[in-house]
Structure 1
Amino acid sequence: MAEVPAPDSSHDTPAAVQAEVPAPRRATVWWQRPIVLSLGITLLLLALALGWPLLRWQMSPPEAAPVVRGLPWQVQADGAGGSAVFGLHLGTATLGDAEALWPQDFKVALISTQGTKQQAPALEAYVESFQAAFVNGKLVMSVAADADWLRQVWDRSPRGEVDAGGEGAVRRRELAPQDLDAARRIAVSALAFIPAARLDEATVVQRFGPPTERHVGADGVVQLLYPERGVAVALPPAEGDAARAKPVIQYVAPRDFERLLRAPLQGAKPASAP
């Protein structure tokens, strides 16, 4: 009879005894530790919170800088012989239109030169403190009014004043209410802007561009002409009696440039190339 082998005691260990033997522990990777995971999640949330506005700013188109309007060199010719500057269309805009643009500082007066009573006075409107965007100065408006009517308006004037200066002093008179209403319906024929800051030729060319013509008077005053836009810029010389004068920028409708601006210069000195 075959002998039955004795059972191997190593394989017959009860389950309760096996459970008491602790299983070996696996080492935790450093980035899986709770404190590291918590810190990583916090940093991720913080990056999202800060990065989203920056991403939106980079993806959105940049805002365009605001366009400055009403500058002295922003003259628009209409192609039909007229032009617009400072919100006025020369040749069609009236003194009433100008008063509506600057109601607080707008003034109208009759002017004449002392010792010339036989000549008709001129009608002039002006804004003493005129702000052309970031350029300030004085704005003077000229009109073409009937000479006989102006003499009658002068005689009806309630009061006036005389600037000190002797024989060449300027006399100013107010208009009677009915004459002031009539003056508001007269068209503005020319503008003269007298900037408070002193201009040089390089600055004018930079703003207006190269002139079509350049005149130099006997007194050294330089005239830069822009007939296509109806503009003439008068610049005093650096030295001499005329050096204390202020620069003047004159505006007319281009169709009136020859008559109002170029013709008075023809007898002074031939134009020189710019």
Structure 2
Amino acid sequence: MSLDSPSTPDTAPGSKEGARVRKLSRPALLVDEVARAIREMIVQGKVASGEKLSENALAAELGVSTTPVREAISLLRSEGLVTVQPQSGTYVFKLQPGELNQLCELRLALEPAAVELALNNPSSTLADDLAAIAEKMKQAQAEGQIREYLSLDTAFHDTIITASGNPYLSSAYALISAKMAALRNRLGNDPHHMGKSMREHVDITEAIRARDLSKARKILRGHIARKEGSYWEHLDPDRLLKSANQQEV
């Protein structure tokens, strides 16, 4: 068999016209744009956790038909931003008991690994890139621009992942990156969160600048890990349930 020849038939079984793929009814980018718009609504907290989403209302607001909205929801479902309940509808995600721990476990596996890969690359600009973001975070914090600060927080961690140069690692992180961005925004302007967050981002940057992998890993683990006193606890259903039970006793 010639290497230039396709190893599969040119025509699909049962096809009258011999077409190998179906024709697109509209530009594929439309679905991506609709998904981007709805994702932004969820990440920025414009819709509440657990809120029901109406396909018709979203379509009217975005000026499109319900078809791209439905397909966009399928994409957002794969990112964990929405859940679809049969016979009920589509809802913005709510953290389930144990889910926060699972999200942090994946981050603990991916982010330190990304730092190591970046430091193994002599031409990596990760330290400079993080320093630039951290400086903008300081400015946003000082000016009380909470939403901007939290957006930069997400950019900081996305930059670490991208610096790995490993597309598979990036794909794995993409499964949770939008949900983590949404969770950051739901922390709001909690002063404990903001102060702890800013200090640790600076410390991470300095450790990477010094090419101290061990220190960078240690700070990252403390930054990400769920433990007593962690600001992530404010979003944890397990913790809230325990508190409620203790109050009932």
Asked which structure has the greater CA Rg, the reply is: 1
| Alignment TM-score, normalising by the size of structure 2 | 0.24
Q: Which has the higher contact order (CA 8 A, sep 6+)?
A: 2
Greater helix share, structure number: 2
| Alignment TM-score, normalising by the size of structure 1 | 0.22
